[in-house]
Structure 1
Amino acid sequence: MTNLYDFSVLNNVGEIIPLLNYQNKVLLIVNTASACGFTPQYAGIEELYKKYQDQGFEVLAFPCNQFGKQEQGDDNEIKDFCDLNFNISFDLFAKIEVNGENADPLYNYLTDQAKGILGSKTIKWNFTKFLINREGKVIKRFGSIDKPEKIENHVKELLSY
């Protein structure tokens, strides 16, 4: 796979979704967890999504249980948690792995395109975020501590093109 749009992913109800569906959109792709100290970022991500979705901004959330076992529920339980606590309206996908030999191919691609600190491919924790421009190019990787408010100016800039 040589382009983001070559990938397909499984959504939280078991449907295969081609990322080609998101062509010409600015994307924020994030690995999430329900029982993490960063879980409150769901609220800020939802706010960012609501503010810019009409301009072509999409959020793709991928639950992951690889960090402190902080996402133990199944896809239905995760969706219920997100609906009850954050009323998210952005796209939620099936639970995946983001590191290791069972890492989802999309995440292998993302971490190849935007390395972490000291050139590391490894995702360090929940709520690592990747910002993608309208052409499908990975522009920037943000760590768990980077709150959605910090990302907003980057989103606005990409939406202006």
Structure 2
Amino acid sequence: MARVYDFSVEKPDGTLQSLKDYEGSVIVVVNTASKCGFTDQFKELQQIYDDYRDKGLVILGFPSDNFNNQEFDSMDETLAFCERNYGVTFPMFKKMDVKGEHAAPLFAFLTSEKKGLLTEGIKWNFTKFLIDREGNVVDRFAPQTSPDKMRAVIDKYIQ
């Protein structure tokens, strides 16, 4: 049975990061965009990261330009924007496709494990997936779901 740890993703500098490096952590995977109506969610995501990282939570951000070109062309611009405007310190990865025939393998896996309300695929920016300490996808949150509303579910897995 596949788990999140079976995947590697590209860091902004192009080097590969194995998700096995996060084994034993509770993980939130989120597809992000810098110029989206939900971009303010970076603030809450960073706060959750600050509140839970010492308890074993990590948030992994994956910029995507799949929805109305709402991401910068340059990774440097994306990273600077997130840090400057939202104080983002959680790991951010290289921009990738999160839907369609060119979807990154990680997102193809996530969406096959936890289907959305109306569709399997990612419908918009800031879809959030919760992964337990064993690497299983245990929950999925819609783009409009405030990260703060995830806290009760995170608490269940962080203990």
Question: Structure 2-normalised TM-score?
Answer: 0.97
Give the aligned residue type for 2:143.
S
**Equivalence for 2:124:** 125
**Equivalence for 2:55:** 55
- Cα offset, 1:12, TM superposition: 1.4
**Equivalence for 2:97:** 97
Q: Distance in 2 between matches of 1:73 and 1:79?
A: 11
Question: Structure 1-normalised TM-score?
Answer: 0.96
Divergent runs of 4+, >6 A: none
Alpha-carbon displacement from aligned partner over 1:47-76 (angstroms, at most 9, x marks no partner): 000000000000000000011110133111
**Equivalence for 1:151:** 150
Q: Distance in 1 between matches of 2:92 and 2:101?
A: 23
1:14 counterpart = 2:32: no
Q: Distance in 1 between matches of 2:92 and 2:3?
A: 21
**Equivalence for 2:136:** 137
Give the aligned residue type for 2:95.
K
Q: Distance in 2 between matches of 1:132 and 1:158?
A: 9
SS of corresponding position for 1:80: helix
- Cα offset, 1:116, TM superposition: 0.4
- Cα offset, 1:113, TM superposition: 0.3
Q: Distance in 2 between matches of 1:122 and 1:110?
A: 9
**Equivalence for 2:44:** 44
Alpha-carbon displacement from aligned partner over 1:88-133 (angstroms, at most 9, x marks no partner): 1100000000111110000000000000014x21101000000000
**Equivalence for 2:116:** 116
Q: Which runs of 5+ in 2 are unaligned?
A: none
Q: Distance in 2 between matches of 1:34 and 1:3?
A: 28
**Equivalence for 1:32:** 32
